[in-house]
Amino acid sequence: MKTKIAFGLLMGLLLLPTMLFADIVYQGKRVQEWPEEARPTFNNQSAGKPSFLLARTPVTQNKSHYAAPKGKIYSLTLLVDFSDQKAPVSVADVEEWLNKEGFNRDGCNGSVRDYYLEVSNGQLDLTNEVFGWYRAKHPKSWYENLQGYTGSDSLMKEVFNYFDPLVDFSRYDNDKDGTTEAINIVYAGAGETWGQGLWPHSGWSNERRDGVKLTHHQMTDMPGKFSIYVFVHESGHMIFGWPDLYWYGDYCTMGNRAHDLNPVAINDFFRADQGWIPFVDVTTNDVSLETTKPGEVCYRYKNPARPDKEGLVWSYVRNTGRNKVLKGSGLLMQHYDFSIEGNSASDKLGLRIVRANHTEPSLNGDKDQWPNPGSTADAFFKSGTYPEFSDETYPAITWYSGAKTGLKITDIGTPGETLTFCIGGNCPAQESSSSQGIASSSSSAPKPESSSAVEIKIEKIAFDVTLPIDDNYAYVTLDLKGDDVAKVLGLQKSEIADKIKFYGVEPDGSLNSRTTGEGTGHWFDKDGKIVVWNPNGNSIVYSNVDLSTMTTRIGHMPNKVKAGDSFVVQQAIVYESKQITFEITVTVQQKTTRISNIRSSKRGNPGNLIFNALGKPVGKRTELGELPDLPKGIYVEIAK
């Protein structure tokens, strides 16, 4: 009788679409991780990630293991319904579901765009452009009943063919490497059978349109009620190349499906690999009392024998916000090994949770990859229950070679607004009152002259920028006169990025080492004070500097400026005894108009300026008010 009940429960789970994993499908077969030749890539030369030693000294920029796009990423979403499953929502509804700030239909905690802005600390703005609905050639049941994923492949080609005359697919090659990053197909109705038909998945194709390859795409169902987990999860496969984290638990959206409406955050290891938060590298010689906030940094201890492949990482995870569904808080430790492709067997995982209560699947032979291990309070290290980690207290936690790790963490505190712990053991008592850890060291830096007897010579370079009003974070690129800056500093232009220190400058002239924008960038309020990104707060203007090219991208928060507004923001670079401050006066232009259909916008006011979606000028209207000759795409028109 028990066997029958267990079997019945299992079959019930297999038939319940909202409770199972979506898939990665490559050449018609399910895989746990993209194979090497099919991994998503992103050509982002300026996307270096800050990494620190415990002394907080920046070290060599790290190359991401996974694709690491930054800034505004345009994604295409194509809608399709069927004769036996008609569209349950409108195109406008889908646009809000994917893009609207604060989207809350059916209980969703924000839109898909909100999710990625939040987990990336504002560094990734995934913006979907939606087309549809297209009525498929066959009923939905026809595609669902084909073997394996042949039904989804057939629908994918059909959808691409239909929308080809209407869409410029090259627009979604964000890094201009000849391959699109984000093509989504959303179909009416629910997924039916796991591993067959139209079951939600991230897929691969050999399609080529508008001069670009459409290799990676994803397919998501739209049953009529909104939720964001599936779209967020499949985007993780498609855009970044993250694997399915089987035997991992609820601690990441790439793991279990813990919550459809408020998906768990991306784990801090993946976030640090993207550069969304810093890595703090630890060695066996370090002794340091640390204080950290939830999701602020990711500590990394590399296997000395295989430093490029294997290591332990940990961070403070608290069950609030995106992680509200988790059953505990504290230090969450993970063991990674890049030589293992995905999580395909419980005893050897590419990324696993090192549970404080010793019950890793790799230790107990757990054969259940879902829904266990779920989450548990005993997975977290914290005061009172599991206050330390070492080879002595956790002899079963070794490198995959069987060698001891050599890592020691003691005196782990009680979870609260911050969490303290000691690296190396025997932290000096005086550090407990004086050490502020990464939380304060990354906030506000003093003026260089206050910490050095050397007189700092300050030079100021002033710039004026005219910024169009835009509802999509469009930017204007400003040349920071890198050649002139290099001469003043006594450097080669190519040396600037590696040798200088970069700061934001507060209105009183003090230097702030905390970056709040994308990469080496800042958000500012109306008075030029440095603030964090917050659509509902006081962040108004951003300046994201690329030190490798000595340019910066200037833009504004949507719906926060009006024509004629003016702001002054300042950033600075310091090298030895020299400081160069960039003072940028930003003036907002007249009202803009979005052009999404060139045919219907042929006539307008003569002389109006036309910009592409990246904020670059592409021409102006003729004396007769006609548009210049433009390829299909989306443009912004600014009144003369």
What secondary structure does DSSP assign to 556-568, as a single string? E-TTS--TT-EEE
* φ, ψ at 290 (rounded to 5°): -110, 145
Determine contact, residues 61/48, Cβ cutoff 8 Å: yes
Compute the distance between CA of residue 416 and CA of residue 419 in angstroms, rounded to an integer. Answer: 6
pLDDT of residue 163: 95
Q: What is the 3-state secondary structure (H, E, C) of 375-397?
A: CCHHHCEECCCECCECCCCCCCC
Tokens 């290290």 correspond to 381
Compute the distance between CA of residue 373 and CA of residue 488 in angstroms, rounded to an integer. Answer: 58
Compute the distance between CA of residue 477 and CA of residue 494 in angstroms, rounded to an integer. Answer: 19
Compute the distance between CA of residue 93 and CA of residue 98 in angstroms, rounded to an integer. Answer: 9
Sign of CA dihedral 29, 35, 38, 39: positive
Cis peptide bond N-terminal to 133, omega within 30: yes
pLDDT of residue 429: 58
DSSP 596-615: S-TGGG-B--TT-EEEETTS
Token pair, residue 322, equals: 């995106």
pLDDT of residue 331: 97
Q: Is 502 helix (H, G, I), strand (E, B) or coil?
A: strand
Nearest alpha carbon to residue 581 among 590, 589, 572: 572
> Does an H or E element contain 492, and which?
none
Cis peptide bond N-terminal to 371, omega within 30: yes
> Does an H or E element contain 465, and which?
strand 457-467
Average pLDDT per 10 consecutive residues for the chain, totaling 640 residues: 33 36 59 67 55 48 81 94 96 95 95 95 92 95 92 94 93 92 95 87 90 93 95 94 89 91 96 92 90 94 94 96 94 94 79 82 54 80 92 89 94 94 79 33 36 70 86 84 92 89 92 80 93 84 91 90 91 93 88 71 81 76 86 76
Tokens 């958000």 correspond to 523
- The CA R_g of the chain, rounded to the nearest whole Å, is 26
pLDDT of residue 16: 35
Tokens 């490798």 correspond to 548
Please give the domain boundaries of the chain with CATH numbers for all domains.
2-31+68-240 (no CATH), 268-440 (no CATH), 448-587 (2.60.40), 592-638 (no CATH)
Compute the distance between CA of residue 627 and CA of residue 640 in angstroms, rounded to an integer. Answer: 14
Q: How many CB atoms lie within 10 A of CB 206?
A: 8
Nearest alpha carbon to residue 191 among 19, 327, 12, 66: 19
Question: Which amino acid is located at 179 in the chain?
Answer: T
Compute the distance between CA of residue 480 and CA of residue 460 in angstroms, rounded to an integer. Answer: 12
Q: Dihedral of the CA atoms 500, 47, 113, 588 (nearest 10)?
A: 50
Q: Dihedral of the CA atoms 346, 352, 356, 359 (nearest 10)?
A: 0
Q: Where are the beta strands (DSSP E) in 189-329?
A: 201-204, 208-209, 212-213, 216-222, 279-281, 288-292, 298-302, 310-317
Strand partners, 291: 420
pLDDT of residue 371: 55
Determine contact, residues 334/313, Cβ cutoff 8 Å: yes
* φ, ψ at 106 (rounded to 5°): 60, 20
Kindly state the DSSP code that residue 3 receives in the 8-state scheme: H
Q: Which residues lie closer than 8 Å to 212 by C-beta, 6 or more apart? A: 169, 170, 172, 173, 178, 179, 180
Compute the distance between CA of residue 404 and CA of residue 397 in angstroms, rounded to an integer. Answer: 8
Compute the distance between CA of residue 116 and CA of residue 599 in angstroms, rounded to an integer. Answer: 34
Nearest alpha carbon to residue 287 among 394, 429, 417, 415: 429
Q: How many CA atoms lie within 13 A of 443 on its CB side?
A: 7
